[in-house]
Amino acid sequence: MEEKVLSDKFIRKYMRLAKQVGEDLNPCMSRHIGVIIVNPVQNRILGTGYNGPPKNTPHPDEPVYLREVVWPQLTSTELELLATKSITDVEQFVSQYGNKRICPRKIIGAASGCRLELCSCEHAEKNAIVNACQDVHGSWMLCWCGIPCWDCSKLIINSGIIQLVCIDWGKDYSLMSRWLLEKKGIRIQMRNPETLDTVV
């Protein structure tokens, strides 16, 4: 793909679209992240993604998921926390949180980026790459989020994406991600979310 730069007009357009994808389609109960991958030469969308579980699999708040995946993985400290809420067995747990649109990680108060194994949702960046209609080598990824996480950053590098446009939330989700992306030579633009909503 020959080198081409998207104009500010189209960056703003695709960022608004990424926000809409994240808000309208996102089954994630924690974060509403949307991503658009664009071929900058043809100015054409190659793929979109949002946080969500793999196709045709239970959502993380479904009773079967809570019973068979989350409960068996809870640590003694997490079980003690639930006991302070009068939840002492799996059926009480499922009754309290089943189909309530609460991420299992939020139930136990996991910090950002921790206990990811309790949630089946995949990140928007990975889903956009997987959903792309063709090879994304040389493309731009526009993310309605900050710098992607460590795992997503590695996939972005390996997929051949050359430019990221991200929301400037004031701090990075992962300092290591920015470091790795910049070492690879991927250009990163940070945008103020308040200025992207205005159509010019």
Q: How many CB atoms lie within 10 A of CB 186?
A: 18
SS3 sequence, the chain? CCCCCCCHHHHHHHHHHHHHHHHHCCCCCCCCCEEEEEECCCCEEEEEEECECCCCCCCCCCHHHHHHHHHHHCCHHHHHHHHCCCCCCHHHHHHHHCCCCCCHHHHCCCCCCCCHHHCCCECHHHHHHHHCCCCCCCCEEEECCCCCCHHHHHHHHHHCCCEEEEECCCCCCCHHHHHHHHHHCCEEEEECHHHHCCCC
pLDDT score, position 198: 57
In order along its 200 residues, the chain shows pLDDT tens digits of 566 789 999 999 999 999 999 988 666 777 889 999 999 999 999 999 999 888 899 999 999 999 999 999 999 999 999 999 999 999 999 999 999 999 999 999 998 778 989 998 899 999 999 999 999 999 999 999 999 999 999 999 999 999 999 999 888 777 899 999 999 999 999 999 888 765 54
**Topology classification of domain 8-52+122-196:** Cytidine Deaminase; domain 2 (3.40.140)
Residue 26 is predicted with a pLDDT of: 64
Locate the domains of the chain by residue range.
Answer: 8-52+122-196, 63-118
